[in-house]
């Protein structure tokens, strides 16, 4: 198992590196340092989104590396996402073109719908989370998930992306899309870690030939304080993870990542610290035993670190 592949084949035949670099919540200079450290150590999968407002910074570093000959464009796997303000089918192509211009690329390798619920578009492309008077997110009056998907499929035909997928989608939403899709979603990117294992969703996606990509695979320790609770369980401090890490002489993060990739789940750990970025990539020289995988599987703590259910209340497309 230590010799496991560093890529996973998607349902359209394309290969995705099983470990990518997450880039949410990074300052410009931090992100440049992180990207250089990641590419230098061997990362080829970079995950971003329109909403992260950092595609231009990523584009700068990618061009720096491509133009210097340190990496070829075709060796990279670049992921970005359709913002929820651009889910009207008529806005989808324009939205990816904005992202591609910032990334300084002619195509991305994977384009995801960032979430299943459209937000009101007021004509301002920078107002990514429009608010109501009471401080909630302003949800668009019309929701046309299948129409949005058809517009996403055209992006493949136009050559603007190699693959399309979704993020934060429920089982029923993915099933509905797969029934009508010409280009099936290749992945569903969701929160997934030892305290939120997503077994049911993983199994349902697997039956449909759709992979799972885990964001927050080590429990998102660096997320903003306003998203944390005082006494919440911390995945990196779990005693089972600590015990296994001691046995292998590995970091707690490496055990958390190894567990997910042994389950066949793609991971996109986020870090801006070069040492941690390098460490997170060093998970191919050991493997967890069946017993250790079972011990982790039987962890009873349940904790979702990103609960957006209150943002959407009773919306029919709410997946949470």
Catalytic annotation, residues = 52
114: burial class by Cβ within 10 Å (0-12, 13-18, 19+)? Answer: buried
Query: Are the beta carbons of 224 and 184 closer than 8 angstroms?
Result: no
Number of Cβ within 10 Å of residue 128's Cβ equals 18
Rounded to whole angstroms, what are the CA distances from 73 to 27, 44, 278, 288? Answer: 24, 10, 21, 34
Token reading at 310: 């209150």
> In 3-state terms, what secondary structure has residue 97?
helix
Are 261 and 4 contacting, i.e. CB atoms less than 8 angstroms apart?
yes
Instruction: State how far the alpha carbon of 100 is from the alpha carbons of 26, 30, 82, 85, 161, in Å.
Output: 20, 22, 12, 17, 10
Classified as helix, coil or strand, 212 is strand
Distances (CA, A) of 254 to 78, 188, 209, 251: 23, 23, 27, 5
């Amino acid at each position: 198992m230590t010799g496991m592949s560093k890529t996973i084949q998607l349902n359209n035949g394309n290969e995705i590196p099983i470990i990518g670099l997450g880039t949410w919540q990074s300052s410009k200079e931090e992100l440049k340092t992180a990207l250089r450290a990641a590419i230098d150590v061997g990362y080829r999968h970079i995950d971003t989104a329109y909403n992260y407002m950092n595609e231009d910074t990523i584009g700068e570093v990618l061009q720096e590396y491509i133009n210097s000959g340190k990496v070829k464009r075709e060796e990279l796997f670049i992921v970005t996402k359709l913002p929820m303000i651009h889910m009207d089918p008529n806005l989808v192509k324009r939205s990816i073109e904005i992202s591609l211009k910032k990334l300084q690329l002619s195509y991305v390798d994977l384009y995801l719908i960032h979430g299943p619920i459209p937000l009101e578009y007021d004509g301002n492309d920078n107002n990514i989370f429009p608010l109501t008077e009471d401080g909630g997110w302003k949800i668009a009056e019309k929701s046309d998930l299948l129409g949005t998907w058809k517009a996403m499929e055209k992006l493949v035909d136009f050559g603007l992306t190699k693959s399309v997928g979704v993020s934060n989608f429920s089982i029923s939403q993915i099933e509905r899309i797969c029934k009508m899709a010409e280009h099936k979603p290749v992945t569903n990117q969701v929160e997934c870690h030892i305290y939120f294992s997503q077994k049911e969703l993983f199994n349902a996606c697997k039956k449909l030939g759709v992979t799972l990509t885990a964001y927050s695979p080590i429990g998102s320790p660096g997320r903003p304080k306003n998203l944390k609770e005082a006494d919440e369980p911390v995945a990196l401090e779990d005693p089972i993870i600590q015990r296994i890490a001691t046995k292998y002489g590995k970091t707690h993060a490496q055990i958390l990542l190894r567990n997910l990739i042994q389950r066949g789940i793609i991971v996109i750990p986020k870090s801006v610290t070069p040492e941690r970025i390098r460490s997170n990539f060093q998970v191919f020289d050991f493997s967890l035993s069946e017993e250790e995988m079972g011990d982790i599987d039987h962890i009873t703590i349940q904790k979702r670190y990103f609960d957006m259910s209150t943002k959407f209340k009773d919306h029919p497309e709410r997946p949470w």
